[in-house]
Chains A and B, each alone.
Chain A
Amino acid sequence: MSSQEIGQMAHLLRRAGFGATRDELEEYVEKGYEAVVEELLHPGDPQNLPDDIIRRYHTEQSELRLADGAAAYWMYRMITTKCPLEDKLALFWHGLFATAYVKLNQARVLLNQIDMFRRDGLGNLSTLMVEMSKDPAMIIWLDNNDNHKDAPNENFGRELLELFSLGIGNYTEQDVKECARAFTGWTLGNAEYMASRASRDSIWPYSRIAWHFEYRDYDHDDGEKTFLGETGNFSGDDIIEIIVRQEATARFICTRLFQFFAADEVDEAGEQLINSMVQSYWDSNHEIRSVLRTLFNSEYFKSDQARFARVKGPVELVVGAVRLAGSYRTPTQGIEQVARQAVYMGQGLLQPPSVEGWHEGIEWVDSGALVERVNFVAHEMSNVNNPGVRRIIERLATENGGVLSPEKLVDQCLDLLGPVMVSDSTRKSLVNFAARQGDLNLTDHQTGDDAEQRVATMLGLATSTREFQLA
Chain B
Amino acid sequence: MSTHAATKTFTLEYVKTIGLTTNQNGRGFVNPYDVAFSKDGRIFVLNHCDSARRNLMRVGICSYDEEYLGEFGKGGGPADDQFSSPVAMAFDSRDRIYITDELHHRVTIFDSAGNFINKWDASGSGDGEFNGPAGIAIDGQDNVYIVDQHNSRVQKFDSNGSYVTQWGEAGSGPSQFNLPWGIAVDDSGQVYVADWRNDRIQKFTSDGKHLASFGESGEGDGQFYRPSGVAVDSDGYIYVADWGNERVQVLGPDGSFQQMLRGEATLSKWAHDYLNVNLEEKETRAISNLTPDLPPQYNTPHHISSQTEPYFWGPVSVRLDGEGKLYVTESNRHRLQIYQRA
Contacts and interface: CB of A to CB of B under 8 A. Distances in A.
Interface string A207-228: 1111111000000000000000
B290 A52 contact: no
A204 B21 contact: yes
Given A190-B290, A192-B288, A205 B51 contact: no
Contacts of A2: none
A85 B302 CA distance: 26
A193 B270 CA distance: 19
Q: Which of A56, A205, A212, A336 is most buried by chain B, counting CB atoms within 10 A of its CB?
A: A205
A304 B236 CA distance: 72
A213 B295 contact: yes
Contact of B333 (A51, A69, A207, A211): A207
Contacts of B179: 56
Contacts of A210: 298, 303, 306-307
B73 interface: no
A436 B21 CA distance: 60
Given A63-B331, A63-B332, A193-B288, A206 B281 contact: no
Given A52-B244, A59-B31, A69-B50, A205 B267 contact: yes
A142 to B, nearest CB: 20
Contacts of B278: 200, 202, 204
Given A196-B281, A203-B21, A204-B20, A209 B290 contact: yes
By size class, the interface of chain B is: 35 or more
B289 A190 contact: yes
A209 B281 contact: no
Contact of A209 (B226, B287, B309): B309
Interface in A47-82: 51-52, 55-56, 58-60, 62-64, 66, 68-69
Contact of A207 (B52, B292, B332): B332
Interface in A384-411: none
A333 interface: yes
A374 interface: no
Interface string B18-61: 01110100000001000000000000000011111100000000
Contacts of A64: 306
A205 B292 contact: no
B270 A192 contact: no
Interface string B113-137: 0000000000000000000000000
A207 B20 CA distance: 8
Given A196-B281, A206-B335, A212-B307, A336 B52 contact: yes
B303 to A, nearest CB: 7
Contact of A206 (B52, B103, B196, B333): B333
Given A190-B290, A206-B265, A60 B335 contact: no
A207 B21 contact: yes
A189 interface: yes
A23 interface: no
Nearest to B196: A56
Contacts of B21: 203-207
A332 to B, nearest CB: 11
B270 A58 contact: no
B172 to A, nearest CB: 16
A63 B314 contact: yes
A108 B302 CA distance: 11
B275 interface: yes
Contact of B52 (A60, A209, A211): A60
B281 A192 contact: no
B9 interface: no
B295 A212 contact: yes
B307 A119 contact: no
Interface string B291-330: 0101101100011001101000110000000000000000
A209 B307 contact: yes
B235 interface: no
Nearest to A61: B50
Contacts of B103: 333
Nearest to A204: B274
A207 B288 contact: no
Contacts of B105: none
A333 B302 CA distance: 23
A256 interface: no
Interface in B249-277: 265, 267-268, 270-271, 274-275
A77 to B, nearest CB: 15
A116 interface: yes
B76 to A, nearest CB: 12
B287 A193 contact: yes
B51 A333 contact: yes
A266 to B, nearest CB: 35
B4 interface: no
A57 to B, nearest CB: 8
Q: Which of A115, A204, A206, A212 is most buried by chain B, counting CB atoms within 10 A of its CB?
A: A206
Contact of A62 (B303, B309, B332): B332
Contact of A58 (B50, B271, B292): B50
A52 B77 CA distance: 26
A197 interface: yes
A210 to B, nearest CB: 4
Nearest to B30: A59
A209 B265 CA distance: 14
Contacts of B294: 212
B297 A206 contact: no
Contacts of B288: 190, 192-193
A204 to B, nearest CB: 5
A112 B295 CA distance: 12
Given A203-B21, A204-B20, A59 B297 contact: no
B284 A193 contact: yes
B265 A211 contact: no
A200 B281 contact: yes
Interface of A: 51-52, 55-56, 58-60, 62-64, 66, 68-69, 108, 112, 115-116, 119, 189-190, 192-193, 196-197, 200, 202-213, 333, 336
22 contacts: A51-B302, A52-B197, A59-B48, A59-B50, A60-B53, A62-B331, A66-B52, A115-B297, A190-B289, A192-B287, A204-B21, A205-B274, A206-B20, A206-B271, A207-B313, A207-B333, A209-B309, A210-B303, A210-B306, A212-B295, A212-B307, A213-B295
Given A63-B314, A197-B281, A204-B21, 11 more contacts: A190-B284, A202-B281, A204-B278, A205-B275, A206-B265, A206-B334, A206-B335, A207-B313, A207-B334, A210-B306, A336-B51
Query: 9 tightest CB-CB pairs across the interface, nearest first?
Result: A205-B271, A60-B50, A193-B284, A190-B288, A59-B50, A210-B306, A192-B284, A193-B288, A206-B333
